[in-house]
Structure 1
Amino acid sequence: MQLTYYVAPWDADDAEQPPEEVQARDGLRWGYVAADLDRFTRMALSRQIGLLAFAPAERYEIVWSAVALALYEADRQPAPADLITAGWQAITVAIQTEARHHGRDLIRHKGTTRRSYVMYWDAAAPRHISSPENGIVERLAVDQIWPMLTAGQQEALAALAVHGSVAAAAQALGKSTAAVHVIARAGRLRFKQWWHEGETPSLPWGRDRRRSEPATHCPAGHERTSETSYIKHTMWRGKPKRQIVCRICREERRAGGRS
């Protein structure tokens, strides 16, 4: 491959390699000179787009080192485009690594802080430092916001905190699971609004993955065991679905169809 900014007579695949005296010129391999490394480095930097995580001098050193390494690791005459690409890839990887170490998200939500970074430094790190600020702020906030909730919301949230699940809290309060879920959700939203008083509340970052105990009987009342039921894997709207099928109900439907 021939490029307009660099002409190498041995660039073709079947061309002879340069003589030894050419390879040793300026102490570089394959006939390249120090000015070539500088030019390739600057061309690789000109291709860089997006976040600039390093100072200009540091970016230059990263790319120059990658270009020189690619030159001396090559077992045959490398093309200028190969050296430029090596430098560009090196600065790209370095920027991605630096951004990840500092919590910058460059994949899903570009320019924002990664959720895992916030979770670690805002939740885990305070456990290992001496400042009690977060704990004090949270306790004061609970004491100030709790009276703002309705009596039903306080009751639902307190029961949920004690019993650990919506089903257990509903049983303790003598209410339906759906009712406790709705009341507790309204209480959380109201608490968040007061916590972010004067600001727009942030959206939930995760989801409640707590699961109730699996049903021991099918809707018809038949006990679910390994002999009376089995798991059927199907697809629903392009997504896998797991369904528990009762063998007794299936046989009853078949018998009803034959009759």
Structure 2
Amino acid sequence: MTYQLTLTVPGQPPVHRTVTGTTPVDLAQAVHHHARGLLGAQVDVHLDGLAGTVHRGTACVGEFTLDPIKETAGTPGPGRDDGIRWGWTLAELDDVVRRAVTRTHQYRACDADERYATGWHAAVELLYTALDPPSERDLYCAAWRAADYLTTRTAEERGVARSRGDTYTGRMDLPKWHAYWETVTRHTAGPEEPVVERLALTQIWPRLHPRYQAALHALAVHENYYAAADALGLKHCTFYAQVRHARNAFLALWWEGETPRRGWRDRRATTEPTQLHSISAHVRKRRRAGVAA
């Protein structure tokens, strides 16, 4: 039979739960697990008919009543035929899980439906595998921990480290994640870009003025504006102007019929030849300077 449990604790509003039982022992166990979940400590239930008291040691800490719930013919009573154990109903379990999965700010970092589903399955699993009636706190903690673990794992899959670092070593850069996603499974570019560039060069180059061709060719060979200008016998300012006009003409043909992008800056115009080194060269230079010091 199904009963409406009303549990009253001094200083707190009454708590209503639905319990089921056919014998006084079943009812006492159902009341006990709700009382323990509410009070959070070892308690004893004294049942006298459809009423009773809750004791902690020798002190009375609460009272309760059980009111029979009339069931409509052909309709199963809540908590009895809906597949929930230990007197729990779907509505009560849903309330516990929803409060658990929204307990911390982490619920914003993961899909809400996934967190709820994870917490729900954890609570149901505990409810059906427990040898003793689990308290409300037990179900609450099971749903909360499962949902937070899901959020943490989801963040790690996206490259966000845990607060304690990767594998509890204190590292926050997730080296294993980067080793997999940035090397083995990195997206590689297709052959389209180099093919398009080569075809475009062969089509645009003959359409450039010979003066522009000479300026670009000299700059490509000498890799330096001053040396290229001297090779063509031009003043530096004149050579700069020819290169600028040549690039503008080239880009006009390249972006023909499209919206042109923003141009780039050629560092060879302002950087001394002795400074055009790779990063490795700069590292070696710093090491030699440190040893000399």
TM-score, length of structure 2 as denominator length: 0.40
Higher Rg: 2
TM-score, length of structure 1 as denominator length: 0.44
